[in-house]
Chains A and B, each alone.
Chain A
Amino acid sequence: MSPNDQVILKITDLKKRFDQTDVLNGISLDVRQGEVTVIIGPSGCGKSTLLRCLNGLEPINSGQIELNGQLLTAPGTDWSTVRQKIGMVFQNYELFPHLNVINNILLGPMKVQKRPRAEALAEAESWLDRVGLKDRALSYPRQLSGGQKQRVAIVRALCMAPEIMLFDEVTASLDPEMVREVLDVMLNLAKGGLTMLIVTHEMAFAKAVADRIIFMDDGLIVEQANPEDFFNHPESERAQRFLNIFQFGRVHRDKN
């Protein structure tokens, strides 16, 4: 599904400071319905902070965030309601260890959205089936691998029926052989037309999934482009340098 023109998330001149350090120096970004936006950039450039500001986990210093025309940065925003519409999955898959998989997933739909258990359960099971974890519904988090936990965390966010999903380096803590299973789930969500804002260091994945690449450095958007252009001909010098980190030239050894 190709993105249509309706902007669902509009960020205008967002600034964020921790103590004396400026972390976000004026980010402006529109995310359209059904669009997959991938944010890349060096460690510490403010990617996580940006995502955390979008669902109110961090207070911002100035700027505006609008979701479907609703100004989230106005005082008195009910973040509990907003967060149902903005799902988020973190790098450190934090399931609730005292609840089994199905109760981890049902907590939000039942307690926050007050949906009937039977209906929420049916939906949760169908999502678990789609991510290949139907048989793990009664397992506890400690019985799952990292990749399985991360897939459950994704389902837990999806069952709130969010309008947009934020993914913050969800494969960064995984063993290499588990990265693929999680990325495949995200690729399928992209095919299904979900609006996603993804922070990742998996460049091949970014290339495959993105409608648009955003390159950030020092709390600013330095460059944005479609994936082909960005990866083949990055315009900014900083993006070129960043992409070079992922390239290895052939080593020429002196033979003597």
Chain B
Amino acid sequence: MLDSAISIFTAGRNMARIFEGLGVTLKISMISVLLSVLLGVPSGLLMSSKIRFCRLFFKLYLEFIRIMPILVLLFLFYYSLSSVFSINLPAMAVAILVFTLWGTAEMADLVRGAVTSLPKHQWESSRAIGLTEPQLNIYVIVPQAIRRLLPGVINLTTRMIKTTPFVFFINIPDLVKVAQQIVEVTGMKNLLASVWVYGLIFFIYFAICYPISLFSHYLEKVWQD
């Protein structure tokens, strides 16, 4: 029985292709998470700002992104842009763009939640002992905001990793797509192919996401306040 597994994973470039697929998955999700955090922090601060226009703009943006299925966004940017405006973005760029649009909206909302959930007294108590505004942010506000933000960021990361398989609808061979192709080719002769290949995929996702979620639980425990 083990022979059937060995024969699949040693045949041709199968193993190499699985790792390439994994590379695609990680590339899209990691770049998108990074961009989402970078863009989401200032957006979130604007969302919690006193300027009404900013709050309204980001609220509309967030609602729009949340209502749209990711797949629709992918199709919109991949097919519709090219047919209407003859803008031809490479599939990889579309994937990162769409995931970043989504991630930025979610991240902005997390930042808004973290900042507005801090009691006003934290600012006042800090000022009352003479801390200057930069000191108050460095020693009091930011450490507490990060603590509140981190579980959400980690949750967003794992959600993004799990959502990347959608990119195969715009012809990007991610981990799941590669697996499917291997099963299609070897499945005729090898009845257990789907078990072995998807089993490996399951294990890979688990090996990536579980440590991330463990890390998050660990930080929550250390930081609970």
Interface residues of A (CB under 8 A from B): 55-57, 79-81, 83-84, 87-88, 90, 92, 94-98, 107-108, 111-113, 140-142, 153, 156-157, 160
Residues of A within 8 A of B121 (CB): 90, 92, 94
B143 touches which of A81, A84, A98, A111 (Cβ 8 Å): A98
Q: Known contacts A92-B121, A96-B122, A98-B225: does B140 contact A57 (CB below 8 Å)? A: no
Q: How far is the CB of A189 from chain B (nearest CB, A)?
A: 17
- B127 located at the interface, meaning its Cβ lies under 8 Å from any Cβ of chain A in the complex: yes
A107 touches which of B119, B139, B224 (Cβ 8 Å): B139
B130 touches which of A90, A95, A108 (Cβ 8 Å): A108
**Residue of B with least CB distance to A141:** B225
**Can you name 19 extra interface pairs (CB under 8 A) apart from A94-B125, A98-B223, A107-B140?**
A55-B128, A57-B127, A79-B127, A80-B132, A81-B130, A83-B127, A83-B129, A87-B129, A88-B128, A94-B122, A94-B124, A95-B125, A96-B122, A96-B125, A96-B139, A98-B144, A108-B129, A111-B139, A113-B130
A–B complex contacts, Cβ < 8 Å, 17 sampled: A55-B128, A80-B130, A83-B128, A83-B130, A90-B125, A90-B128, A92-B121, A94-B125, A95-B125, A96-B122, A98-B143, A111-B135, A112-B131, A140-B225, A142-B225, A157-B128, A157-B129
**Interface residues of B, CB < 8 Å — how many?**
21
Q: How far is the CB of A72 from chain B (nearest CB, A)?
A: 14
**Residue of A with least CB distance to B144:** A98
Interface of chain B, main secondary structure: helix
A112 touches B130 (CB 8 A): yes
A80 touches B144 (CB 8 A): no
**Residue of A with least CB distance to B129:** A108
For A56, A97, A156, the residue with the greatest tally of chain B CB atoms inside 10 Å of its CB is A97
Q: How far is the CB of B118 from chain A (nearest CB, A)?
A: 10
Q: Known contacts A90-B124, A111-B135: does B225 contact A97 (CB below 8 Å)? A: yes
Residues of A within 8 A of B124 (CB): 57, 90, 94
